[in-house]
Structure 1
Amino acid sequence: MSDQRDVQAEQENAAVEENVETVEVNDAQEAEAPMDETAQRIYELETALSEAQATVKEQQDSVLRARADMENARRRADAEVEKARKFALERFAGELLPVVDNLERAIEMTDKDNEAVKSLLEGVEMTHKSFLSTIEKFGLVLIDPQGEAFDPELHQAMSMQESADHAPNTVMAVMQKGYQINGRLLRPAMVMVSRAPSGGVDTQA
Structure 2
Amino acid sequence: MSRKHHKEQEEIQEQETISAGAAETPAEETAAIPAATEADMDAEISARDAEIQKLREEVMRRAAEFENFRKQKEREAALSGTRMLENIVRELLPLIDDLKRLMSHIPAEMQAMAEAKPFIEGVELIHKNFMSLLERKGVKEIEAKGKMLDVNFHEAITQIDAPGAEPDTIVEEYQTGYTLGDRVIRHAKVIVAK
Asked if structure 2 preserves the Cα contact closer than 8 Å seen for 1:144 and 1:174, the reply is no
1:141 matched residue in structure 2: 140
Who is 2:59 aligned against? 63
What does residue range 120-159 of structure 1 map to in structure 2 within 5 Å? 120-159=119-158
**Aligned mates of 1:98, 1:82 — CA distance in 2:** 26
Distance apart, 1:30 and its partner CA: 8.0
2:69 corresponds to 1:73: yes
Taking structure 2 as the reference length, the TM-score comes to 0.81
**Partners in 2 of 1:34 and 1:109 — Cα distance?**
109
TM-score between both structures, scaled by the size of structure 1: 0.77
Q: What is the Cα-based RMSD across aligned positions, in Å?
A: 1.9
C-alpha separation between the residues in 2 aligned to 1:125 and 1:192? 26
- What is aligned with 1:108? 104
Cα distance in 1 between the residues matched to 2:138 and 2:125: 20
- In structure 2, the residue matched to 1:185 is 184
Q: Give the number of the structure whose alpha-carbon radius of gyration is greater.
A: 1
Instruction: Describe the shift of the 1:104–1:36 C-alpha distance in structure 2 as closer, same or farther (beyond 3 A).
Output: same
Q: CA offset at residue 33 of structure 1?
A: 4.9
Q: CA deviation at 1:182?
A: 1.9
Gap regions ≥5 residues in structure 2: 1-20
CA distance in 2, matches of 1:123, 1:31: 108
1:11-52 deviations in Å (ceiling 9; x for gaps):
xxxxxxxxxxxxxxx899887654432211210110110111
Whether 1:118 and 2:117 are equivalent positions in the alignment is: yes
8 Å CA contact retained: 1:111, 1:117? no
Paired with 2:30 and 2:140, the residues of 1 have a C-alpha distance of: 88
How many equivalent pairs are there?
170
Per the alignment, residue 41 of structure 2 pairs with 45
Q: Distance in 1 between matches of 2:56 and 2:26?
A: 45
- Aligned-residue identity in percent: 28
Unaligned runs of 5+ in 1: 1-25, 196-205
